[in-house]
Amino acid sequence: MYFGFEDITIQFGKKRVISGLSVDFPRGKITTVIGRNGCGKSSLLKAVFGAVTPLSGRAVFDGRPISAYKPKVLARRIAYLPQVYFVPPDIDVYTMVSYGRYPHSRFARGLTRADADVIERCVRLTGLTGMERRVISTLSGGERQRVRIAMTICQEPEMLVLDEPTTYLDISCQLDVLELVKRLNRDLGITIVMVLHDINMAARYSDYLYAIKSDSVCAGGTPSEIVTKRELAEIFRVEAEIHRDEKNDCPYFIPYKNNNNFEEQIK
Amino acid sequence: MTDISAAGAARPALDSRPKGPHIKKMTVIAVLAAASVLSVIVCVGIGTIRFTPGESLKALFVADDSTARLIVWNLRLPRVLSAAFVGVCLSLSGCILQGVMRNNLASPSTIGVTGGSSFIGYMTLVVFPSYYFLLPAGSIIGAFVTTMLIYMLAYKKGVSSVRMILSGLAVSALFGAFNDVIRTFFSERISNASGFLVGGLTGVTWDKFKLILPYALAGIFVCAFLPAKMNVLMLGDETANSLGLRTERFRFFLIAVSSLLAGAAIAVAGLISFVGLIVPHIARLLVGSNYKFLFPASIFLGVLLVVVCDTVGRVVLPPGEVPVSIILAFIGAPFFLYLLRTRRGE
C-alpha cells in the first residue's frame, strides 16, 4: 500500500466517527475525499500527523505504518496543509516559505544555498515572485493560501495532503488554488490527497473521488462513477440533476430539494 | 524525491534575495548590544562616589590597589553583572513562555512562576538552612513545577488570556500566602538570603553571582539553538507536527529551559516582576516576532532595563536604596494594564 488506512477507528469521547475503515489512495493521482459534515474526513487526515490519535488501526505510507517514521523523515516525504493555522502577524512571505525547509534542517545550522534555491523556486512556482518581503497580514486570503502551499512544497514532498484548501476563498481564488494543486500533481508528480466540500470542484480537479458514506464505508471511483444520482442521494441525501461539463470533461450536478423527508419529520 | 530543486536552470545567487529588513533588524540589535555594554560601564561608575566611564574602564581592566578598583570591582561590578544576568534570564524566560503558551501576556511573574519558585526557594532555605547553594536548584524546581501546573490548567490549543491570568493570579496568591507564613515563622533561618527576600539586588557579592552563573549561562546557551524550532512552533501544533517537530516534547523542553532561566534569576533577586513581560514586547515592536531576532534583542534589552533600573534604585533616595523590583513595578504595572487593554481580543 502506498498511502492509506488499515482498519482505523477514531473516537472522540464516546462518539465514534470512523470505525474499522480501510482505504487505499493511489500514487501519483489527485484523490479527493468527500462526505457530509462530521463524517470524519478531516479527522482521518489528522490521524496521519498525530493531531488525532486513532483508537485502533493505523495510517500507512509507502508500506510502513506512519508511526514507524521519524517525524522529520516523514515531513520530507508528506506535507500537510491543515485547515486551522497560525501565522505570526509580522512574518514576511519569504520567511514563512522558508519554514518549509525545517524538516531538511540540521542541528544548529541555518539555511544553506541549496535551501535558498528551493525556496526561490517554490516562490516562483506559486506565483509569489516579487512579494517575498510582503508581510503575511497584508495579503488577501487567496495569496495567503498560496504562501502556505509554497511552504508545504518547500518540504519537497512526494505527497501533499490538504484539508479543505478552498474554504473561505472566493470563486476565483478557489480556482487559483485548485489549478495550482493540479499543476503540482501534473508537473512535479506530487500525489495529492485532499478534502473538499464543493463536489463540483472536486469532480473537476480530481482523478478519483472517495466518498465517506458511513463510519465504516468509503466508496471510491472516478468522478463519473461517484457524481451520479444514486450515489449523491446515498451520501448527501440530495436529489441531483447530473450534467456533463464537456470543456473540462467531468460531470457536474445541480442539487435539488432535500431527500431527508423533512415534511414527514415535521408532521 | 520530487525534483523541485533540480527543475530550474541557472542557480540564482544567494544575494539576489531581498535582504533589506534584516539589515534594519541587525542594526537595531547591534545598537542595543552597544547600549547594554555601555550601561554596564556607566552604571559601575554611579553611586556615592562617582567615576567617569574612563575611570570605570580602568578600574575594570587594571587590577591595582586603588579605591576605584576596590569599589568598582569588588562592590559594584558583581551587583551590576547580577542585574544584567537577571535581566537576560527573565527576558528570555518571558520570550519562551509567550511562545509555549502562545500568548503574549505570559511571563514568569504574570503566570505565578515567580511565586512558586520563591516558595520552593524558601523551603530549601528552611529545610536545609546551612546549604545556601541549594537555593538556585530549589528556585528552578519551583519554577518548573509552577509552569507545568499553569500549563496544564490553562492550555487548550493555545492559552486563553483570561484563564492563564486567573490561574496565575490564584497560584501567585496561594504561594504568596505560603511565603508569608514562612517569613513569619522561620525568619531567622532565611535571614542570610537578603536579596531573595526583598526582591532586589542589595548586597549582592561575587559569591552570590557565581552561585547562579552556571545555571544562567547554561540556559542562555541552550537558547541559542531554539529560534528555528520556536518559529515552527508558532505556526500552530498541526503545522509544526507536519513539519516534523514533536511539539509536545519540545514544549516540555521549553518549559524546563524557561524554568532554569527564571529560577536562576529569582534565586539571586527574588520577586522581580514585569521584566519577562515588558522586554519581549518591546523587542517584538523593534525587531518583529521572528525568534532569530527576538532572542538577541530581548537579551540586550533585558540587560539595559534591569541594570539601569537597579542603578536608579540605588541612587534615587540616598542614603537608602529602593529595590529594583519597585522601580520595575512602577514602569511595568502601567505597561501591563495597557497591554491587557489593547490585546483584549486575543
* Residue B286 to chain A, least CA–CA distance (Å): 11
CB atoms within 10 A of CB A148: 23
Interface probe, candidates A46, A69, A86, A160, chain B, greatest B C-beta count within 10 A: A86
* Surface of A (128-157) touching B: CB under 8 A: 132-133, 153, 155-157
**B239 to A82: CB separation less than 8 angstroms, yes or no:** yes
For the ranges A140-154, B94-108, B332-346, the lowest mean pLDDT is seen at B332-346
What's the confidence (pLDDT) of residue B160? Answer: 66
Q: Is A89 in the B-facing interface, judged by CB distances under 8 Å?
A: yes
At A58, is the secondary structure helix, strand, or coil? strand
Asked if the peptide bond before residue A89 counts as cis, ω within 30 degrees of 0, the response is no
In tens, the pLDDT along B136-146 reads: 888 899 889 88
Residue in B closest to A133 by C-alpha: B18
| Chains A, B: CB pairs < 8 Å | 114
Q: Please, are residues B230 and B99 in contact by the beta-carbon 8 Å criterion?
A: yes
At B143, is the secondary structure helix, strand, or coil? helix
**Tens digit of pLDDT per residue, chain A (267 long)?**
899 999 999 988 888 888 888 999 999 999 999 988 888 888 888 888 877 888 889 899 998 999 899 999 999 999 999 988 888 878 889 999 999 999 998 876 778 888 899 999 999 999 999 888 888 888 888 899 999 999 999 999 999 999 999 988 999 999 999 999 999 999 999 999 999 999 999 999 999 999 988 888 888 899 999 998 888 888 888 888 899 999 989 999 998 876 555 555 555
Q: Which residues of B touch A94 (CB under 8 A)?
A: 17-18
| DSSP secondary structure letter of residue A137 | G
Of B251 and B20, which is predicted with more confidence? B251
A160: nearest Cα among A185, A127, A128: A185
A107: nearest Cα among B227, B231, B35: B227
Nearest to B238 among A49, A88, A155 (CB): A49
Nearest to B234 among A74, A88, A103 (CB): A88
Distance of CA A143 to CAs A134, A148, B275, Å? 11, 9, 38
Q: At what angle do helices B291-315 and B20-43 cross, to 10 degrees?
A: 20
What's the confidence (pLDDT) of residue A263? Answer: 52
Q: Is A35 in the B-facing interface, judged by CB distances under 8 Å?
A: no
A58: nearest Cα among A33, A90, A11, A22: A22
What's the confidence (pLDDT) of residue B138? Answer: 87
User: What is the average pLDDT score of chain B?
Assistant: 83
Average pLDDT of the segment spanning B5-24 = 51
Q: What are B's interface residues with A at a Cβ cutoff of 8 A?
A: 1-5, 7-8, 11-12, 14, 17-18, 20-21, 102, 158, 224-225, 228, 231-232, 234-239, 241-246, 288-290
**B244 to A156: CB separation less than 8 angstroms, yes or no:** no
| DSSP secondary structure letter of residue A78 | E
Q: Which residues of B touch A132 (CB under 8 A)?
A: 17-18
Residue B16: which pLDDT band, with cuts at 50, 70 and 90? very low
Spatial distance between the Cα atoms of B170 and A126, rounded to a whole number of angstroms: 49
pLDDT surpassing 70 at residue B346: no
Nearest to B288 among A80, A90, A158 (CB): A90
In tens, the pLDDT along B188-226 reads: 776 665 556 667 788 788 888 898 899 999 999 999 999
**A75 to B242: CB separation less than 8 angstroms, yes or no:** yes
Spatial distance between the Cα atoms of A232 and A241, rounded to a whole number of angstroms: 10
A121: nearest Cα among A73, A155, A91, A87: A155
A201: nearest Cα among A244, A252, A134: A252
How far is C-alpha B146 from the chain's CA centre? Answer: 16
Spatial distance between the Cα atoms of B289 and B298, rounded to a whole number of angstroms: 11
What's the confidence (pLDDT) of residue B19? Answer: 54
B52: nearest Cα among B39, B41, B64: B41
* Residue A132 to chain B, least CA–CA distance (Å): 7
pTM of this prediction?
A: 0.87
What's the confidence (pLDDT) of residue B198? Answer: 64
Q: Tell me whether 0.90 is exceeded by the ipTM.
A: no
Q: Is A102 in the B-facing interface, judged by CB distances under 8 Å?
A: yes
Nearest to B234 among A72, A86, A116 (CB): A86
What's the confidence (pLDDT) of residue B161? Answer: 66
Q: What element of type H or E holds A196?
A: none
What's the confidence (pLDDT) of residue B9? Answer: 38
* Surface of A (162-201) touching B: CB under 8 A: 188-190
Q: Beta A191-195 vs A30-35: how paired, if at all?
A: parallel
**A87 to B5: CB separation less than 8 angstroms, yes or no:** no
Residue in B closest to A83 by C-alpha: B238
Q: Which residues of A touch B1 (CB under 8 A)?
A: 76, 156, 158
**A113 to B14: CB separation less than 8 angstroms, yes or no:** yes
Interface probe, candidates B102, B242, B247, B253, chain A, greatest A C-beta count within 10 A: B242
CB atoms within 10 A of CB B157: 11
Residue B106: which pLDDT band, with cuts at 50, 70 and 90? confident
**B242 to A46: CB separation less than 8 angstroms, yes or no:** no
